[in-house]
Amino acid sequence: MSKLWIQNGTIVNPSGAALQGRHDILIENGRIQAIAPELPAADVEGAEIVDALGCHVMPGFFDLHVHLREPGQEYKEDIASGTLAAVHGGYTAVCCMPNTDPVIDNPALLSFIREKASAADHCKVYPVAAITKGLKGEELSEMGLLLEAGAVAFSDDGKPVADPQRMRLACQYAKNFDALLMLHCEDKALAGSGVMHEGYYSVTLGLAGIPAASEAAMVARDLLIAESYGTRIHICHVSTEQSIALIRAAKARGVRVTCETAPHYFAATDEWVELSGYDSNVKMNPPLRSARDRDAIIEALADGTIDAIATDHAPHHQDEKRVEFNIALNGIVGLETAYSLAVTHLVMPGKLTPEQLVDRMSAAPRRILGLEGAEIAEGAPADLTIAKPDADVVYTAAGLHSKSKNSPFLERPYFGKIQQTIVEGVAKI
């Protein structure tokens, strides 16, 4: 395997890591071999040079929550196109959600995903298997066999485990393996027929609202059940101030809970539905929330209550989005825009330090899954993201590498541009 020599870059490790600042990095055989302000000429002889002048060199971004749509909905995205989008967004690894067709609830499909990811050879893919077979919320999947086959966690994402008795059994079963349950927390009865956040704008726009309590009520239920059995749970796409308060209190009393939010929840609010003229690219689930919720999200990212930033990358064909707001499908693509949104809305205003951002996008996801590579160090995996944080960038539909283009963040100016993504010592863009 060829050698890579990263020159002139500024290493940004998570907060608390010993190594920060200006260093060169030598990569060989998929690992970081040496780090120094200046590497000996003999060590770097014959190495391919990557000039990182003016750039941050960070542990590779890791997305806990991505919909790659394969198998079954390849017209929206497939593993090859989704992972190509990932590396262009700085991601060296992603977790793919199981709400495919067929559902990822058996070892054969886990093998299929791994083979497809290996053939595409863009970034690492860690499959998440279903909590219940077929995502029907009834019969539990065979967690032991699925873990042996390569599942890293379990989720019915897109749907909550609505039956509290089924959720109790899932927690008991998962605890036997110390498996992680990644939970979509939504009380469907409370959400009703809502299509956006319930508040001022839903009233003035004449759209049915989804109350913040529809998320928080299920967060509270799942926290209590998981606490009863000591099960590890991870709350997906947290969007409300109420949910944050519940999670913060649960962490304080020792509940084994982590959580994530998505860039759109700190970069936009429900006002965007009005400002966009009912553009369905601002329709998602959970919906864009109030400015107060957004501010609570940012505060929770800063104080560590929210562990990770995950994109909830949800590609849809234009025919599923260019329809009336009420009937458009939920979700947006997010892999390629996440870093810029984070730099623009979190780092530039001083809400997060670069080191904190690296923790939320790189280190925390690995810690949650128990994987190595949470910081740049000699001997660590050579999975790195190189980005220029002060570079101007504007995203366009034509410039996205995802098959789908459903994003409200196109044609807008941002800061933060991915320059290179290195996976197992190989430069990918």
Ranges assigned E (strand) in 219-297:
232-235, 257-261
Cα gap 421→427, rounded to integer Å: 6
Low-confidence ranges of the chain (pLDDT < 70): 1
Q: Please give the pLDDT value at position 1.
A: 55
Q: Please give the pLDDT value at position 18.
A: 83
Catalytic entry in 78, 156, 312, 359: 312
Q: Please give the pLDDT value at position 240.
A: 98
Name the pTM for this structure: 0.98
Cα gap 6→154, rounded to integer Å: 37
Q: CA neighbours within 13 Å on the CB side: how many for 140?
A: 18
Torsion of CA 248, 251, 256, 260, to 10 degrees: 30
Angstrom distances, CA of residue 85 to CA of 67, 89, 189, 234, 402 = 12, 6, 35, 25, 5
Quickly tell me which residue has 């989005």 as its tokens: 321
Measured CA angle at 368 (ends 186, 362), to 5 deg = 105
Measured CA angle at 282 (ends 277, 286), to 5 deg = 135
Query: Catalytic: 101?
Result: no
Cα gap 326→333, rounded to integer Å: 19
Bridge partners (DSSP) of residue 417 are 388
